[in-house]
Amino acid sequence: MALIVQKYGGTSVGTVERIKNVAQRVKRTREAGHEVVVVVSAMAGETNRLVKLAYEVDPDPISREYDALIASGEQVSTALVALALNKMGVPARSFLAHQIEMRTDATRSKARIESVGGPILRAAIERGEVPVVAGFQGVDAEGSITTLGRGGSDTTGVALAAALNADVCEIYTDVDGIYTTDPNIVRAARKIERVSYEEMLELASLGAKVLQTRSVEFGMKYGVRIHVRSSFDESEGSWVVPEDETMEQVVVRAVAYDKNDARISVLGVPDQPGVAAKVFAVLSEAEIVVDMIIQNSSQDGTKTDLTFTVPKADVLTARRLMEPVAAALGAATIKTDNQISKVSVVGVGMRSHSGVAAKMFGVLSQAGVNIQMIATSEIKISVVIDEAYTELAVRVLHQAFGLDT
């Protein structure tokens, strides 16, 4: 007998019919002799609808009320799933964050979990009930509702699995696993059987949208085995698990891309201590997340260029904030470019194989793709390129690193 946390995403609970399917699956899992804790997202499209409503009332909504509003979609789906289960004869009870003491800090809209209501859930399990927990939401020290960031139900699921010491956290979604790249771009993309936490962490933050990044961090920290699979069929999905020796044999596990960033260059800044600090201080005060950064080495030791990427949504704000700073520094110009994308190859095998970067750059140059920026870690290489070449770059890299076969 295992304890299984099953997290169902928005499409899996998107209609009454699908909610009944979810209840059936939970029932089958119980009949196979397992204990189940369910975590649900809001019904598909619901959170977006709530976000839109908030902005219609106030384009700059108060964060406390904004979180209270957008967390409400999960209240509906938890109750519906609990109703469906009881109707099928499976005792179940819905729980909102405050009812299980799912505590977070007070950072609205991207709150961090501080403690999880293990004891209350355990008691429910012992009574023979299936707890159906609202994903995405938490409660802060003063009792206000918080949310964990878009896609945050994944994190609720994995955090609960960690707290309850569950055997597995199953993430049910509308795709049947994690792929070597986006199958919409590369038909030959394949489902990955097993991926390490570290690889998944890179993939999630580099644009693969199957799992919220923070859920992978949780999984890695507490050793929760995560099984990403489809709620529409019985097929085996992809496992996110601790790394083992065989994993390094594959050099590149997957190719990811992200079109959400824009590039900003501050040209002709003085090449002296403190300049980068000033430039990035204003961005960090505005909570703008800077991703890649490049500083050119100056030709004559006096002036240099600073180039970095920020989310497209923040590029205008970033530019507005940079202008006075650049002027004060005597920088010549600020340039922005929205038409970029970041393409990355990821794999723990890079640690033990050399020449990955050379191969990647060679393949891209043969395809006529110009590289604007490069960033590397031990297990990934990312390049910024013209957005128009994204699909081409993904395709040639997927092939060159043997992922097509």
Tokens linked to 65: 């009320």
- Distance of alpha carbon 293 from alpha carbon 283, whole angstroms: 13
What is the contact mask toward Mg ion in residues 331 to 350, using x (rule: CB under 5 A)? --------------------
Count Cβ neighbours within 10 Å for each residue of 78-112 and write b for 16 or more, e otherwise. bbbbbebbeeeebebbbbbbbebbbbbeeebebbe
Residue type, position 292, single letter: M
- Rule CB under 6 A: which of 150-179 touch ligand ASP? 150-154
What is the contact mask toward Mg ion in residues 2 to 41, using x (rule: CB under 5 A)? -------x--------------------------------
Nearer to ligand ASP (CB atom), residue 45 or residue 324: 45
Residue 226 Cβ, how far from Mg ion at the closest point, in Å?
Answer: 13
3-state secondary structure at position 196: strand
Query: How many other β-carbons are positioned within 10 Å of the β-carbon of residue 320?
Result: 11
Nearer to ligand ASP (CB atom), residue 42 or residue 310: 42
Nearer to Mg ion (CB atom), residue 9 or residue 14: 9
Which residues does residue 92 pair with via DSSP β-bridges, in sequence order?
130
Tokens linked to 107: 């950072």
Choose the binding region for Mg ion from 50-58, 146-154, 241-249, 260-268 (rule: CB under 5 A): 146-154
Residue nearest to Mg ion (CB): 151
Query: How many other β-carbons are positioned within 10 Å of the β-carbon of residue 119?
Result: 11
Nearer to ligand ASP (CB atom), residue 134 or residue 394: 134
Residue 72 Cβ, how far from ligand ASP at the closest point, in Å?
Answer: 10
Residue 213 interaction partner, one of ligand ASP, Mg ion, none, beta carbon < 5-8 Å per kind: none
Interaction of residue 135 with ligand ASP, rule CB under 6 A: yes
Q: Are 6 and 35 in contact (CB under 8 A)?
A: no
Nearer to Mg ion (CB atom), residue 39 or residue 100: 39
- Distance of alpha carbon 348 from alpha carbon 198, whole angstroms: 8
Nearer to ligand ASP (CB atom), residue 136 or residue 257: 136
Residue type, position 200, single letter: M
- Distance of alpha carbon 303 from alpha carbon 269, whole angstroms: 5
Interaction of residue 151 with Mg ion, rule CB under 5 A: yes
Q: State the maximum Cα–Cα separation within the chain, in Å, rounded to a whole number.
A: 78
Residue of 6, 11, 12, 41 that binds ligand ASP (CB under 6 A): 41
Q: Residue 141, class by beta-carbon neighbours within 10 Å (0-12 exposed, 13-18 middle, 19+ buried)? A: exposed
- Distance of alpha carbon 10 from alpha carbon 390, whole angstroms: 28
228: nearest Cα among 3, 9, 46, 11: 9
- The 8-class DSSP code of residue 379 comes to T
Residue 44 Cβ, how far from ligand ASP at the closest point, in Å?
Answer: 9
What is the contact mask toward ligand ASP in residues 54 to 83, using x (rule: CB under 6 A)? -------------------x----------
Residue 338 Cβ, how far from ligand ASP at the closest point, in Å?
Answer: 24
Interaction of residue 47 with ligand ASP, rule CB under 6 A: yes
Nearer to ligand ASP (CB atom), residue 70 or residue 121: 70
Residues that bind ligand ASP (CB under 6 A): 9-10, 41-42, 47, 73, 135-136, 150-154
Residues that bind Mg ion (CB under 5 A): 9, 151
